[in-house]
Amino acid sequence: MSDRPKTTDGTVRERDADASARGTEPLLRIEDVHKSYGDEEVLRGIDLEIDRGDVEVLVGPSGSGKSTLLRCLNRLTEVDSGHIYLGDTEVTAPDTDPNAVRQQIGMVFQDINLFAHLTARKNITLGLRKVRGLSAEEARQRADSELERVGLADQADSYPAQLSGGQKQRVGIARALAMDPEVMLFDEPTSALDPELSNEVLEVMQGLVAEGMTMVVVTHEMRFARGGADEITFLADGAIVERGPPEKLFENPERERTKRFFESIRHE
Amino acid sequence: MEGTVALTELSTALPAGQLSSLGEAQVGRYLGTDWEFVYRNGDYLLRGMAVTIVLTLTSILVGFLAGFPAGALEAYGSGYSRAFVRKVGVLLRGTPILVIMLFTYFVLPIEVVLGAAEFGLRSVEFVLGPAPVTVPTDVPDAFVAATIALGFRSAAYQSQIFRGALGSIDEGQMEAARSIGMGRLEAIRHVIVPQALRRSVPGFQNEFTIVLKDTSIAFAIGLGELLKRSHDLFTQQTTAVLEVILFISLLYFVLTFGTNRTLDYVSNRFAIPGESS
């Protein structure tokens, strides 16, 4: 079973109490990552270090490269140059098996992408059975406990088409969590949902923050960024413009470009 | 077995009326002597129908076994394999079925075909262990030639059904599978194919009906299927052409209608709950 604490009722900031217990060793290191599509350079040398247990929120206008950066982290997109490390493993090394790395990096998609032909439970057991090699019974128990963790124990036998958008995305999160990843990537997890349904997804994410999960989140949800992030990175045109804790970027950004971005969002 | 009997009696002469003689007189009195003729030779025609059914099944099977991998190659393959499959497909789809069938019957050496089938079966046995079937050697040449022609022509169309269905599955499904550490082939097998097979049922339904009706083209190479046998009959009693053709049309209709209803049922049975089919 999961060795993670199951406190989902805590407030967002609660975990700061044991912040000192965490090492300062970065879990994710991104070094000079470049990526181009044809003539267009979408990532122009990204350097970033994310500590274990931290929540990093990537923001920026569309086309700034934040989703591409996220997809490079688990090699759904291959970098052109540069290096990405997860702990001691170089993710981007040619002899690194991407399938092994991806088991340690969970991903939640904007389009949710639940396996349409499988029930909520089987969406979760598929990876446990075929990738982790668990027995049917072990996988089922694990799936049920993950569904309970996202508050969907009663929907285990529902098919994706029978679930609401928010429920689907919570199953998507449970599917990623079941693989017991070291870090979770969220690619605009609420962009396809209307505000009411976004909330239930954000609550689940807040719960993960409270549990101390390392998270990299691309989002336009400024409430989450403000309340859940340890660091916010603002990207524009494929480069990091500014990085800092939420209070600083929201209230007192150094760069004019950052200021304009956060002002434009406030007026939405 | 009805099918086996029919296969081995393909070239026998017309049997005498073998249905119960009870009722023949009544049929003759109320519907005329031509309907009585059809009625008397009903079992002869029904055996032809059995050949039609068996030929449809073997052709569809060959078409599936060759067409599904071909469709997968067109969707996921690269380089020479894909180019080869595409070219063969274009060739088969661009040639009339009658021409293909005359080729497989008159040109293609039957030994080569049976040898290839034997080799295929041995390869399967090598991978999966002893197979419960053997390559039949006592099947009439015309039946083998018709199966190859209809089977490979159908493969060329089935490959397009599967290629389209595989391509219609959202890319996100593959990405989600890869993101939890599944390999590409595993993802195709466990995530893409199960959804694609469901989506190919309507196209497959169409293909099944087409193959069923096109078995009648085996008439041209003398295979005793339903149309050939009806021809045997109405050349013997030329006043009964209309009656014989109406009767076999009814049989063809029952077969296609029954097949479609069955596949409708299969489609509903395996539909994904909550999704409109």
Looking at the predicted structure, is the pLDDT value of residue B6 above 50?
no
Looking at the predicted structure, is the pLDDT value of residue B152 above 50?
yes
Which strands make up the sheet holding A26-37, listed edge to edge? A40-51, A26-37, A81-86, A89-90
Secondary structure of residue A235 in the 3-state scheme: strand
Q: CA A203, CA A197: separation in Å to the nearest integer?
A: 10
**Nearest CB to A161; choose among B170, B183, B275:** B275
Identify the residue with better confidence: B200 or B132. Answer: B200
Chain A residues whose beta carbon lies within 8 Å of the beta carbon of residue B182? 99, 126-127, 130-131
- In the predicted model, what is the mean pLDDT of chain B? 88
The reported pLDDT for the residue numbered B157 is 97
Which strands make up the sheet holding A183-187, listed edge to edge? A105-108, A183-187, A214-218, A55-59, A231-236, A239-244
Query: Which residue, among B75, B66, B216, B221, has the nearest Cα to B156 in the 3D structure?
Result: B66
The position carrying tokens 């994710």 is A28
Closest-CA residue of chain A to B174 = A113
Check if the beta carbon of residue B225 is closer than 8 Å to that of residue B215: yes
Q: CA A122, CA A105: separation in Å to the nearest integer?
A: 20
Check if the beta carbon of residue A186 is closer than 8 Å to that of residue B179: no
Q: What is the CA radius of gyration of chain A?
A: 18
Min Cα distance A240 → chain B (Å) is: 25
Query: Angle at Cα B74 formed by Cα B98 and Cα B190, nearest 5°?
Result: 120
Query: Which residue, among A104, A124, A213, has the nearest Cα to A172 in the 3D structure?
Result: A124
Provide the Cα torsion B265, B271, B276, B277; round to 10°.
-50
pLDDT in tens, B205-258: 999 999 999 999 999 999 999 999 999 999 998 888 999 999 999 999 999 999
Question: Which residues lie below 8 Å from residue A14, measured CB to CB, with a gap of 6+?
Answer: A7, A210
Q: For chain B, say whether A114 makes contact (Cβ under 8 Å).
A: yes
pLDDT in tens, B37-48: 888 898 999 999
**Nearest CB to A74; choose among B179, B182, B274:** B179
Looking at the predicted structure, is the pLDDT value of residue B34 above 90?
no
Q: CA B227, CA B233: separation in Å to the nearest integer?
A: 10
Give the residue from A78, A113, A119 with the most B CB atoms within 10 Å of its CB, the best one to mutate. A113
DSSP per-residue string spanning chain B: -HHHHHHHTTTPPPPPP-S-STTHHHHHHHH-HHHHHHHHTHHHHHHHHHHHHHHHHHHHHHHHHHHHHHHHHHHH--HHHHHHHHHHHHHHHTS-HHHHHHHHHHTS-HHHHHHHHHHHHHHHHHHH---S----SSS-HHHHHHHHHHHHHHHHHHHHHHHHHHHHS-HHHHHHHHHTT--HHHHIIIIIHHHHHHHTHHHHHHHHHHHHHHGGGGGGGT--SHHHHHHHHHHHSGGGHHHHHHHHHHHHHHHHHHHHHHHHHHHHHTPPTTS--
CB contact under 8 A, A113 and B170: yes
Which residue ranges form the domains of chain A, and what is each CATH number? 24-266 (3.40.50.300)
Identify the residue with better confidence: B265 or A2. Answer: B265
- Work out how many CB contacts closer than 8 A connect A with B: 81
Which residue ranges form the domains of chain B, and what is each CATH number? 2-255 (1.10.3720.10)
The position carrying tokens 């017309």 is B14
The reported pLDDT for the residue numbered A16 is 45
The reported pLDDT for the residue numbered B120 is 82
Query: Which residue, among A197, A185, A202, A228, has the nearest Cα to A86 in the 3D structure?
Result: A185
Chain B residues whose beta carbon lies within 8 Å of the beta carbon of residue A76? 175, 178-179
Min Cα distance A256 → chain B (Å) is: 37
Chain B residues whose beta carbon lies within 8 Å of the beta carbon of residue A99? 178, 181-183
Q: CA A183, CA A189: separation in Å to the nearest integer?
A: 15
Min Cα distance B69 → chain A (Å) is: 22
> Rounded to the nearest 10 degrees, what angle do helices B33-40 and B42-76 cross at?
60
Secondary structure of residue A260 in the 3-state scheme: helix
Segment B22-43 shows an average pLDDT of 82
Average pLDDT by consecutive 10-residue portion of chain A (268 residues)?
A: 43 43 75 94 95 95 92 95 94 94 96 96 96 95 96 96 95 96 96 89 94 95 91 95 93 90 77
The reported pLDDT for the residue numbered A12 is 41
